[in-house]
Amino acid sequence: MFLSQTHIMNIQLNNQIIENASKVSRNLSSEELYEISHKNGEGKLSKHGALVVETGKHTGRSANDKFFVEENDSKSKIHWGDTNVAISEEKFEKIANSFVEFAKGKSIFSNDLMGGADRNHSLNVSIITEYAWHGLFARHLLVRPTADEIKNFVADYTIINFPSLKLNPEFHGTNSETAIIVNLKEKVILIAGTEYAGETKKSVFTLLNFLLPEKKVMPMHCSVNSGEKGDSAIFFGLSGTGKTTLSADPNRSLLGDDEHGWSDEGLFNFEGGCYAKLIRLSKDAEPEIYKTTQMKGTVIENAVMNNDGLLDLDDNSLTENTRGAYPLDYIPGVIKSGKAPHPNNIIMLTADAFGILPPIAKLTPEQAMYHFLSGYTAKVAGTEIGLSNEPQATFSTCFGAPFMPRNPIEYGNLLKNKISKFSVDCWLVNTGWSGGVYGVGKRISIKDTRRLLDAALSGELSNTQMRKDKNFGFSVPLTVKEIDEAILDPRNTWSNTSEYDEQAKKLVKMFIENFVKFESDVEDKILASGPVTN
């Protein structure tokens, strides 16, 4: 039986799964997986050849169903809490045995892929999937090894994704029939009960977030692009804040849209593709991403397709979190090496649902550390299971707390050191609401955000007169070409300024209360760089 030995390596689990399966299709091409997905009825083809799939009740991450196995090798390195929840080795054994049993007689797919374009810091991962389209998704989103690398491929970790396997919470010790179980000692991740493909992608990200800090490499939930002169920019931000949209700039080359590392040699992409939000995607405002929805092979999750085979990207009847997965080379001007120079600018994106933050602000290094640890934004329904229809203010440390196994201070200190070492300018950009709270105010236009970003990245704002924000202390430009001056001071966009002041106090209070948990770990000057009550 599985787990009969004292120490189990991921290759043993991998072998038992493969031995039990009736057929294993290994390292098929993207074209082959695309054809099989359609033939097996896993998805439908759009008029333009995109593979359109539905993921059932799980249209986003199952945040409450992720666990780390508590074992002696790694438990002192994990920052246990609400996002890093422990499960015992005994319960993992039961779950792993269920995976082995489930594989009996199944036709499965195995793909050898990599996390990280920089081979000095990359991770070899074998992805075993029940569905062909999950294999295609993994090939789109991860780095595809060369033919020579495939010949000598040895997996560092194995990820096994069986959506049709429903766990029994009473027997397996999980919260539901769904679970994502990370076993760092055995180098395996098990995913059951969810068809949402993003769980596989984020599992690789979680592994890199655990492993790279020990090599002094900063793992980041961010997008990156570069200008003609090699002036790279990092875009931090949670889902829905605009990382993918804003980094796909026709005037700059894209490195990647979601996950990157920052080593002493420069920046590198963790991925080989993009995973873009598609809801209400604009052909005019986001032409590069829009074109990918009409390309053969793109995997489109939970978008509504009409009888004529055309997608209705405005229809959120299945979810607000409609997604498109495609290889990086579907975007013109992409940086094919997957690597870029050290950044000149860091952009911290937020979608402020309260209408308080300005559309752009310059941060001191201390303020950058404060806002990185805070990770403020507002989530709306659809990006995660369990959110209500109302937006929720959230503070996700490092702009990616669910994927950060270590203490946030480790990541914060890495970022602080690199900002100092490479003299990087830092900006806070609000892509959320102005003129009132969500439902009353209006969302800041992509056009205005792009113009403000252009001004920051080009150096134009270095010669612009700034005001000090009375609530947050950061510097805000008074004027920017082609931008209505009123939106630069959000208080002026509210019909009732006293309501703005009251709402600002509430937001400041939330920041302060959230940061209490970091007070004993950060320097006084970082504490002093946060917002103040007036």
Q: Which residues are catalytic?
A: 61, 202, 221, 239, 243-244, 258, 323
What angle is formed at CA 190 by the lines to CA 188 and CA 194, rounded to 5 degrees?
Answer: 155
CA 503 to chain centre: 29
Q: Please state whether 282 falls in left (phi above 0), alpha (psi between -120 and 50) or beta.
A: beta
CA distance 373 to 202: 20
The amino acid sitting at 367 is Q
Contact by Cβ (8 Å): 107, 22: yes
Residues with Cβ within 8 Å of residue 146, at least 6 apart in sequence: none
Question: How far is the first Cα of the chain from the last one, in angstroms, to the nearest whole number?
Answer: 65
CA torsion, ordered 243, 245, 249, 254, to nearest 10 deg: 50
CA distance 384 to 386: 6
Long-range contacts of 33-37 (CB under 8 A, 24+ apart): 33/109, 33/132, 33/133, 33/135, 33/136, 33/139, 34/136, 34/296, 34/297, 36/132, 37/131, 37/132, 37/133, 37/136
3-state secondary structure string, 257-301?
CCEEEEECCEEEECCCEEEEECCCCCCCCCHHHHHHCCCCCCEEE
Residues with Cβ within 8 Å of residue 388, at least 6 apart in sequence: 381
